[in-house]
Structure 1
Amino acid sequence: MRKFTKLIGAATLALASAAVGANTDLDIDRQARNLWHDAILAGYQSLATNAADFSRAAQNYCESPDQASRRNAEQAWRRAFLAWQKVRFVDFGPVENNNLAWQFQFWPDPKNLIAKKARYLVKSEDGVTQELVAQSGVAVQGFPMAEYLLYDKQMNASDKALPATNTCELLVAVADHIAANSDTLSSEWQSLREHFLDTDQYSDATIKAGMAGLEILEERRLAQPMGMRGNGKRSKYDADAWRSGSSLMAVEASLNGLRTYFLPGLSLLLDNSDKPALSQSIKRQFDEVLEHFPEMRAPMEVMLQDDSFAQLQGLYVDVSQLVVLVTDQAAVELGVARGFNSSDGD
């Protein structure tokens, strides 16, 4: 009887230990989601704040156009655009509603639809309204359209250049659209909190989003303009934000966003895995990649030249090593399989 009692006691202790371990794992997983939710919310709130600033700056410029207000509008556009780059990797949740990600940034744009739509709209005899922008599709509604109006050389040399009436109306309507979407995104993400924390699948979704963000950065935002993918020719036009010379600043912002909003939750999971040292390796690699900046905030066109190309290659190699650490090692350790990402543009 005593032997039987001892067996029951041992079995009960084993089950209790297993339950504690499971609860601990669940707690850690939930803690990681808590870190991710709050960090991404901070990123979305920053986007909303900077987008509102851009909206006001565009309005101020069009009401009182001069060099100072134009410069303020351009700077406000860049701050808002870079705030978007920091949270651009999040490809699930509210940003999927109504194609919000594409509304913020229509890219890639191999057919130059942004220029075609802008030229059509600024010739409208009825003027440009927010309603027209809302009905005109994602190529019109986001940061690339505003960039075109502010920075495109041919546009700025034409009789429709800012502060022409229709062009200003388009700029203000687009800026307002970005600001409204940013507010919506921030509010809806905040409302998602409890569901996000209670849903295990969001852990995998967040890790996959970080993986995809890094892979797109490596393959499309760097390798493609460097001539390492596609037709094999170097071309600034394959980069995003080439008109404003912000392509590499956008890369830096995305890397900073991943380090700030994605890495803490990933590190928590890895620190409690069988390979805790991997967390430190990824942190060091993020630091190494970001050491290329601020020297590489130059326009992509400049960095594609032979005398600067080696620096760009160095950045690419470091990003590739970061991709391997996250997608081939961390994700495997955490049991997350690489999946298809619709924002890749292929």
Structure 2
Amino acid sequence: MKRLILTLFLASSLITAPLMAADANGANESTAVYRTQWHKDMLAGYQSLATQSQALESQAQTYCQSPSSEELEATKRLWLDAFLAWQQVRFIDFGPVEENNRAWQFQFWPDPKNLVARKASYLLKDEAPITPEKIGESGVAVQGFPMVEYLLYDQTFSRSESALPAGRSCQLLVAVTRHIARNGETLANDWKGFQSNYLGSEQYTDTTIRAAMAGLEILEERRLATPMGLRGNGKRSIYSADAWRSGASLIAADASVQGLKKHFMPAFSKLLNDREQTDLAKRIEQQFEEVLANFPELDRPMAPLLSDDNAFKPLQSLYVDLTQLTALVNDRAAVELGVVRGFNSSDGD
């Protein structure tokens, strides 16, 4: 009798095992649909970053060859375009952007020790040629958007003898913009090559969702709450914000929300709808619109808003709306989908 029961059990296992495998494969195939959309949308973001970075490099060369106030303003505009393109894909903290500290190379922040300014001073006083190799070995504080921002916008630097279009400062400007452009092009190409790995691994579904969760947390807690004095020492300070020299802290926040809406939400909404979370998907989509409704009023420097209580109110409204969005995605949606918030490489970027 025992042998008969064992035989029946083994026969049953052989029948059900393929069904279980089919279910697992079906689940993987279904999640691959979302990853296919995510890969396409994120590739578009990376390609935009590459295009805008190349335009910045070209304009930096034009300005330094024929300096003028008009060309300087054009360089500033293209710096902002490229910087905002980076903000749109900044939440992606996995895959090729992890290689060689690329995210840090694009944007070294936070910078509590003002390392960008110190590195700039050292390089401008040094007599060694500012070559691509020199930029490559000088560290992430030199290699990205904050260094270009320093050269273009820093008030103390702009009053110094080294101010643009001084020869060595122009060399540094051209070299750093070239580094950014090369990184942008390489990152877009590497993301293309990452497609088979990304689509073929079910774990990247959760990884992508966690990246968006982390991006929202960093935006809420560190890019807004800290300079607003809601975290840390409780004092308002523009120097805790990113892009404070150019006054682009808030328009950069706008770009980050726009990037999540454009490159993350289409597939995420489909995932929620397919999991019968239609109402939640609609609430999240509506909350994205609520956050973005704070702009373009807040597409202006943060510093004056921090120094005046009345002007501070629109910033508070943005923070409240963003907090609600973060709660919907990181708490409600994550719980419904069984996604656990864990460590990610954006922490401390």
Instruction: Tell me the TM-score range normalised by the shorter chain.
Output: over 0.9
Q: Which amino acid aligns with 1:210?
A: A
Tell me by how many angstroms 1:23 deviates.
Answer: 5.7
Q: Distance in 1 between matches of 2:235 and 2:119?
A: 27
The 10-residue stretch of structure 1 (263-272 or 155-164) with the greater mean CA deviation from structure 2: 263-272
Is the contact between residue 94 and residue 345 of structure 2 (CA under 8 Å) also seen in structure 1? no
- Which aligned segments of 4 or more residues in structure 1 are displaced greater than 6 angstroms? 13-21
Answering whether residue 326 of structure 2 is matched by residue 312 of structure 1, we say no
Counterpart of 1:250 in structure 2 is 252
Aligned ranges for residues 262-341 of structure 1 at < 5 Å?
Answer: 262-304=264-306, 305-341=308-344
Q: Distance in 2 between matches of 1:199 and 1:27?
A: 10
Aligned ranges for residues 80-229 of structure 1 at < 5 Å?
Answer: 80-229=82-231
Counterpart of 2:7 in structure 1 is none
* Runs of 5+ unmatched residues, structure 2: 1-14
Q: Which amino acid aligns with 2:329?
A: V
Q: Distance in 1 between matches of 2:296 and 2:162?
A: 35
Task: Give me the CA root mean square deviation.
Answer: 1.9
Q: Which amino acid aligns with 1:238?
A: S
Q: Distance in 1 between matches of 2:325 and 2:305?
A: 21
Q: Distance in 2 between matches of 1:121 and 1:244?
A: 21
Tell me by how many angstroms 1:28 deviates.
Answer: 2.8
Is the contact between residue 30 and residue 198 of structure 1 (CA under 8 Å) also seen in structure 2? yes
From the superposition, tell whether residues 114 and 203 of structure 1 become closer, same or farther in structure 2 (CA, over 3 Å): same
Tell me by how many angstroms 1:208 deviates.
Answer: 0.4
Q: Which amino acid aligns with 2:209?
A: I
Please state whether the residue corresponding to 2:125 is helix, strand or coil.
coil
Q: Which amino acid aligns with 1:55?
A: E
From the superposition, tell whether residues 342 and 21 of structure 1 become closer, same or farther in structure 2 (CA, over 3 Å): closer
Q: Distance in 1 between matches of 2:136 and 2:35?
A: 34
Tell me by how many angstroms 1:24 deviates.
Answer: 5.2
From the superposition, tell whether residues 16 and 344 of structure 1 become closer, same or farther in structure 2 (CA, over 3 Å): closer
Q: Distance in 1 between matches of 2:25 and 2:204?
A: 18
From the superposition, tell whether residues 276 and 158 of structure 1 become closer, same or farther in structure 2 (CA, over 3 Å): same
Q: Distance in 1 between matches of 2:68 and 2:155?
A: 18
- TM-score, with structure 1 as normaliser: 0.93
Q: CA deviation digits over 1:54-92, x for unaligned, max 9?
A: 000001000000011111111110000000000000000
Tell me by how many angstroms 1:340 deviates.
Answer: 1.5
Tell me by how many angstroms 1:277 deviates.
Answer: 1.4
* Runs of 5+ unmatched residues, structure 1: 1-12
Aligned length, in residue pairs: 336
Q: Which amino acid aligns with 1:310?
A: K
Tell me by how many angstroms 1:275 deviates.
Answer: 2.1
From the superposition, tell whether residues 195 and 178 of structure 1 become closer, same or farther in structure 2 (CA, over 3 Å): same
Counterpart of 2:12 in structure 1 is none
Identity percentage of aligned residues: 56
Counterpart of 1:7 in structure 2 is none
Q: Distance in 2 between matches of 1:110 and 1:195?
A: 37
